[in-house]
């Protein structure tokens, strides 16, 4: 463990969360476990509603989004090159440094 927060989250209103330890899993579950409750994820994390839209910056390379995720992202007004669906991003066991910003509601 280092002193550097491994996950830095910025909410829609500018509030921030620093998460320095988390179990490997989907970014959505990590955010929820950390108490970031402004993500609706109405479909329950099944890549079907795009209400877990986030912007992700990372020093490490994340796997590219798959076809289903890309198609969902293409429906969003606030899509940018950093757009990801939190339910589709798998994060390793604390090794990655991520900066995540919650995207605006559609």
Partner 1 sequence: MTELDIKSLPALSDYGFTGGRDNFRVFCRKVFAAPEPRFLRTAENNLVVFRNADLIRFGTAPEIGNQPIGRMYPARFKQGASPERPPGWEIGEVISSQIFTFNPPLHGPARRMILNWLGPKQVGQMAELARDVARTVIGRIRDGETVDLVETVAEAVVVGFWSRLLYLTDEEAVVIGRCAQDMTRLFRTNRSQEDLQVLDKAFAEYARLLHLASIRGLERSDPAMLEIAARLKEIDIPDDPYEVGLVPKSVGAVLAGNLVDGFHTAALAAANTLYVLLDTPEALAAVRRAPDTLPRAITEALRLEPPVLALNRYALRDFHFDGLVLPAGNKIMMMWAAGNHDPSAFPEPERFDIGRPQPGLTTFGSGVHICPGRHAGVMLTRVMLEEFFAQEVEIGKAGKPAEWIPDHFMNQLSVFPASISRAERGD
Q: Contact residues for partner 1 (CB under 8 A)?
A: 37-40, 42-46, 48-50, 68, 71-72, 74-77, 79, 105-106
The least CB distance from residue 56 to partner 1, in Å, is 20
The least CB distance from residue 90 to partner 1, in Å, is 19
Query: Is 23 or 42 the residue whose CB approaches partner 1 more closely?
Result: 42
Query: Is 20 or 106 the residue whose CB approaches partner 1 more closely?
Result: 106
For the chain, how are helix, strand and coil distributed in percent, rounded to 5?
15, 25, 60
Side-chain half-sphere CA neighbours of 32 within 13 A: 13
The least CB distance from residue 6 to partner 1, in Å, is 25
Query: Is 10 or 48 the residue whose CB approaches partner 1 more closely?
Result: 48
Pairing between β-strand 16-19 and β-strand 83-85 as defined by DSSP bridges? unpaired
Query: Is 68 or 93 the residue whose CB approaches partner 1 more closely?
Result: 68
**Type and span of the H or E element at 2:** none
Beta strand extents in 11-103 (DSSP E only): 16-19, 25-26, 53-58, 83-85, 90-91, 98-102
């Amino acid at each position: 463990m280092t002193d550097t927060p491994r996950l830095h989250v910025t909410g829609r209103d500018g509030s921030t969360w620093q998460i320095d330890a988390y179990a490997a899993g989907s970014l959505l579950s990590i955010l929820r476990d950390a108490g970031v409750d402004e993500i609706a994820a109405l479909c329950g994390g099944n890549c079907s509603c795009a209400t877990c839209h986030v912007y992700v910056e990372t020093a490490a390379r994340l796997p590219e989004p798959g076809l289903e995720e890309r198609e969902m992202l293409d429906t969003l007004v606030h899509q940018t090159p950093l757009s990801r669906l939190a339910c589709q991003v798998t994060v390793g066991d604390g090794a990655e440094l991520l900066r995540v910003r919650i995207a605006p509601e559609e």
